[in-house]
Structure 1
Amino acid sequence: MTQHRRGPVVGMLAVVAVALTACAGLPTTGDVTVGLAREDVGLPPDISQIAAEPLEGASPEQIVEGFLDAALTPTDGWQIAREFLSPELAETWRPSAGVTIDEGAAGREFNAEVVGEVDTAEKGDVRVLLDQIARVDEDGAYTELSGDESVASFQVARNGNGEWRITAAADGIVLDAEAFTQVFRKYSLQFYDQTWTRLVADVRWLPRRPQIATTLTQSLLEGAPSDWLAPAVRSAFPSDVSLVRDAVPISEDKVATVELTPSALSLEATQLARMRTQLEETLRSAGVSEVRLTVNGSDLNAGQAAIQSAVPEPGSVVLTDSQFGTYLGDEITPYAGISEGILKLAPSVVAVDMAVDNQRAAVQLDTGAVWTVADGRVDQLDARAGLLKPSMDPYGYTWTVPSSAPQALVAWEPNVTQVDVANAFSEASSISQLRVGPDGVRVAAVATVGGQRWIISAAIVRDENQVPVELGPTQMLAQLDGEALALSWVGDDSLSVLVNSDNSPAVLRQDVGGPGASAAAPEGAQMLSGGRMATSVRILNAEGVLFAQRGTTWQTGRADVLVLGTHAGQ
């Protein structure tokens, strides 16, 4: 048996800008033969790495190592990777079956066993020990793991030329965390909420390839929402409607023509409009500005569905000794019917969340109790011990939960009626942060699960009157090493988490269905608010100084802020 950790890369990896014209990429399902050249829709060319082909005389470990390295080059269906395989396996191997993501290629440990003497052996086995941190399934759904070691097993044999080739391997590819985002890109399939008025992002990771518009269309029409989102969302596309062929041509003016099966002819105008809007929003990240639905070449003249648009960036919610309101520019603008009431409570206010329409505020006092302020009225909602900061949703509900009882989640109606939310975070033993998303369909939290601190999410299931009924299954997003001081939404599919680890504050930008990235936070950071973009994130430190991120640095603003509040959906 031979054993070694990864050494120098077999051959050279050259970084090149790939000219994305008519060359084929890897289909995630089926045989895609025609698609969109990315340059035709004004997107920048992707940067790919060209892996080395097998070297003459390479050992079994080197062949397996070269095969893993070749996952960096998805061109022509990972053709270079197939050269490390026997002809029989090369025909059946499915790289699109999924991705194993490990900590780093340098940490891989290779163990080889051959039958007989090394120089004369004809067959053998190679095992690779990986520090796996995440996986992506065949549908592109990303799941973070707790960092357990895993083993990838390969069988090898000499070919007719005496060269070692892989004869048995699992479907899928292996990439380290850094290489993953070079080979794959984040896209969002869009699904409707139960009211058909809001679109909800379902993040998927797909190979960077020219035919991505075709792949996204196939995923939307033929696939399904992620399991954790499925209880609260739906698609406008019926199951008997599909693409006629595996191609979505794009015109020079960025219009995608989507040829559907004849069953679409029987659909009503409302459903066709919803289908077009859902697909149009899904394809925007592929550079598409408009979608035309056709049957047998004839335009179905689908309209556009009315959906809730993103709330304009409202500015920061701040409380000082003498003012409460929206901080924009150099001014604090008060909220009618709210600011006066909150200022009366100012010395004891520790958290404020404003409703979407700025007509109501949820306030937590230093006693831990949660109150609402609206139209000059102040009403107590919840006085349970150990409550987290309140979170309002787009429908006007205020969500509260005790830190020691994640399952005791409550949503309060504006009239102070209590609604118990069933099936809340059943796996969690405690919870430290809670924020309802901008669509009112997803809720994010930081909770302790299995003795580990995790960022988690779940879908909110509502009845026909939009009353929250229960939460769907818990989705584990990312494990945290330190204490979460604050949590906020950034855009539709990302979170910002203020983390304190060994007295070193950091801001973690975490995709809801993808990897995260950390950056240093200002010293003494205590509060955080999000917004539509990463540049909207604000941080308040212990001295009352407000910070805004500008590139890689934090710019100081006001220095007299007592509380940095949030808006519903942040």
Structure 2
Amino acid sequence: MSAPRRVRAGLVAAACAAALAGCVALPTSGPVVAGDGQVNEPEGIVVLAQGPQADAGPADIVEGFLLAGAAEVTGDFVVAREFLAGDARSEWDPTAGATVARSVEFEATSETQVTVELDVVGKVDDGGRFAETSAAARESARFELVQDGDGDWRITHAPDGVIITPATMDQQYRAVTLWFLTPDADMLVPEVRWFPQRDRNLPTAVVKALLAGPSPWLRDAVSSAVPAGVELKPEAVLVEGGVAEVSLQPVGVVQEADRGLLLAQLEESLRPLGIASVQVRAGGVVLDGGAADVPTATGGELEVLAGGRVVSLTGSEPAPVDDVAAVEGAAPQGLARGRGDLRVALADPGTLVTVPAAGQPGEVLAAGAALAAPSVDRHGWVWTARTSTAGPLVATRPGAAPVDVTGDWLAGRTVDALRVSADGTRIAVVSSGPDGVSLDVAGVVRDESAAPLRLGAPVRAGARLAPTGAVVWVDDVTLAVLAEDEAGTVPHLVPVSGRSTPLPVVAGAAALAAGRGERTLHVVTADGELLRYDGRTWVTVPGATDVSGAAFPG
């Protein structure tokens, strides 16, 4: 057996460089001519797949097969199948998903078998759902080979799917947001999927995914104007002049759907692909009416808790918010705000109170030995958790008794931090359990009055991180969380479906706040400083001192 051979993530990049060598050069002679003044947007690097090489050994054949499969992610995998023999040519399913690996090690474990060891950073399933894996994630893939009549090695068994590097994913996949609806249809709710970005049928893939509905983890928390059983017939979205034509069946079911909401979901999902409007046909007839005006979440102004007072930072210098009294308590902290005038905070680590209006007393909403920093959803429910013991989340509101909200996955786990999304359908939870600390996102299932009932099954986010608490939504599909690494406390941007990105270290980081976009991200330090992320580094917010909490609406 041969010694293991390790191939790092630069493998495909090297193949790209080889493919491009000699293809592009600047002219050094000839006449000067006028250009047309038009600059076309670059379409990225095109990597050409190469077929099997003569006299290649088993490990070389497997390596060539993986390279060809990665190069043909957006094609029909004709070249990759040249590495296969017999039934494997038709049975291998490259569309079953993609394993994203930082490095690959090949080992001939017998004369006819090659094992590939993978340092995995994430996976894309057959529905386009990306899941980041833990830093210790390792996987093995087994390939069986045979020599043909000419003495050339070919693969008789290959795992379904393709193996790609992070660079290949960045170059050849595109994150597309599918838009669903809140249960009351008042807001759009996003879910990100990943599709091969050079696929000529990308609009078709997006529409099919939208018709299939949200992922299981989100399904019970949202709604859709797409009726059950509706299909794309014919199975292609035709695009001409920025208008997409979508033909749906069965006719009767489509005609009974809420056309405005259906068009809103379709148009919002297809707009990033250069599609301005959508025509829906049912039985060859174009449905009349336009898309309903369904908003996504909006931002707001930052307020901070400083010395127990709620302070606005919108003016030339910080000033207390009018008609809002101070938070009375031993250690006011953890400010949170609703979309109206509702503000809440921790009066001390174990007492959750409303921030009183001037001349009015605050109301105690929950109490315990230690409570998580609160979050207020768009329905006016205030969320927290008892951080000293394992148990359910707590949802409450002024004038109402607290409600325990749990999910099966929280059993035996202690919640360290939480934050509800602006649309109220999802919640991010940092929790500790026997398997360590994790960041999970789950759907919030509510009753007809929007009162929370339970949490759905979660998806793991930021699996490579060791969160220390403090989580916020930076936008509709991205979180920020504090995590520890060798450098200290590091804020990270964590997509619900995507790879985490570290930001510069913040010494003594204790809390986070964000509105809409990473440039609204703020950190509160243990020393009471307020820092804002400017896209490259952290800058001190002038005049903000003795800060113990910060919050945008929602």
Distance 1:353 1:245 in 2: 49
**Which residue number in structure 1 is paired with residue 500 of structure 2?**
516
* Map 1:462-541 → 2, pairs under 5 A: 462-479=446-463, 481-502=465-486, 504-541=488-525
Letter matched to residue 199 of structure 1: L
| One-letter amino acid matched to 1:361 | R
Q: Deviations over 1:106-136 (max 9, x none)?
A: x42423411xxxxxxxxx1111122334322
Alignment of 1:377-416 (within 5 A): 377-416=361-400
- Cα gap change, 1:64/1:399 in structure 2, threshold over 3 Å: closer, same or farther? same
Identity of aligned residues (%): 30
Distance in 2 between the 1:68 and 1:256 partners?
A: 35
1:259 corresponds to which of 223, 247, 253: 247
- 1:112 & 1:190 partners in 2: Cα distance? 47
Contact preservation (8 Å) 1:256, 1:292: yes
Q: Give the aligned residue type for 2:207.
A: T
- In the alignment, structure 2 segments of 5+ residues that lack a partner are 21-39
Unaligned runs of 5+ in 1: 18-41, 115-123
Rounded Cα–Cα distance in structure 2 between residues aligned with 1:533 and 1:219: 26
2:313 match = 327
SS of the aligned residue for 1:250 comes to strand
Aligned counterparts of 2:489 and 2:276: Cα–Cα separation in 1: 41
Question: Which residue pairs with 1:32 in the alignment?
Answer: none
TM-score, normalisation: structure 2: 0.87
CA contact (8 A) 1:406 1:424 kept: no
Shift of 1:142: 2.2
Which residue among 34, 56, 78 is the counterpart of 2:54? Answer: 56
What is the CA–CA distance in structure 1 between the aligned matches of 2:60 and 2:145, rounded to whole Å? 11
Preserved CA contact (<8 Å) 1:356 1:567: no
Q: Is the 8 A contact 2:363 2:398 kept in 1?
A: no
**How many equivalent residue pairs?**
526
Q: Is contact 1:72-1:183 (8 Å) kept?
A: no
Question: Of the candidates 163, 166, 181, which is equivalent to residue 155 of structure 2?
Answer: 166
Find out whether 1:111 has 2:108 as its counterpart: yes
Structure 1 counterpart of 2:282, one-letter code: V
Q: Residue by residue, what CA displacement relative to the aligned partner does 1:49-92 show, whole Å, maximum 9, x if unpaired?
A: 33443222111001111212233312422333223222643333
The correspondence for 1:352, drawn from 325, 335, 339, is 335
Shift of 1:151: 1.5
TM alignment of 1:194-213, pairs within 5 A: 194-209=183-198, 210-213=200-203
Cα-to-partner distance string for 1:192-216 (whole Å, 9 max, x where unaligned): 2211222221221222223211100
| 1:303 maps onto 2:305 in alignment | no
Question: 2:349 touches 2:370 (CA, 8 Å); kept in 1?
Answer: no
Moved over 6 A (4+): none
For residues 372 and 472 of structure 2, the distance between their equivalents in structure 1, rounded to whole angstroms, comes to: 14
- In 1: Cα distance, 2:542 partner to 2:549 partner: 11
1:245 matched to 2:223: no
Contact 1:193/1:232 (8 A) holds in 2: yes
Q: Identify if the C-alpha distance between structure 1 residues 341 and 559 changes in structure 2 by more than 3 Å, giving closer, same or farther.
A: closer
Q: Does 1:368 pair with 2:358?
A: no
Q: 1:394: Cα distance to partner?
A: 0.6
482-491 or 388-397, which deviates more: 482-491
CA RMSD of aligned residues (A): 2.7
Q: Please say if residues 349 and 364 of structure 1, whose CA atoms lie closer than 8 Å, have aligned partners that are also in contact.
A: yes
Report if aligned partners of 1:51, 1:70 keep a CA contact under 8 Å in 2: yes
**1:239 CA displacement:** 2.8
1:157 pairs with 2:146: yes
In the alignment, residue 442 of structure 1 is paired with which amino acid?
R
Superposed CA offset, 1:436-471 (max 9, x none): 111111000111243221111111110000011111
| Distance change >3 Å, CA 477–CA 234, structure 1 → 2 | same
Contact 2:188/2:296 (CA < 8 Å) preserved in 1? no
- The alignment status of 1:432 with 2:416, answered yes or no, reads yes
**Cα contact 2:16–2:45 (8 A) shared by 1:** no
| Equivalences for residues 269-288 of structure 1 within 5 A | 271-288=258-275
1: CA distance, partners of 2:480 / 2:90: 44
Distance in 1, matches of 2:249 and 2:303, equals: 50
SS in 2 for 1:362: strand
Of 120, 123, 139, the match for 1:135: 123
Whether the aligned pair in 1 keeps the contact of 2:336 and 2:344 (CA below 8 Å) is yes
Deviations along 1:333-386, one digit per CA (max 9) or x if unpaired, are 654443x233xx3873121001112x0111112342110124444111111112
**C-alpha distance in 2, partners of 1:469/1:11?**
49
CA contact (8 A) 1:462 1:468 kept: yes
Q: Give 1:478's aligned amino acid.
A: G
8 Å contact kept, 1:444–1:456: yes
Q: Distance in 2 between matches of 1:482 and 1:150?
A: 21
Counterparts of 2:221 and 2:398, CA distance in 1:
22
* Contact 2:187–2:423, Cα closer than 8 Å, also in 1: yes
Q: How many angstroms does 1:280 deviate by?
A: 1.3
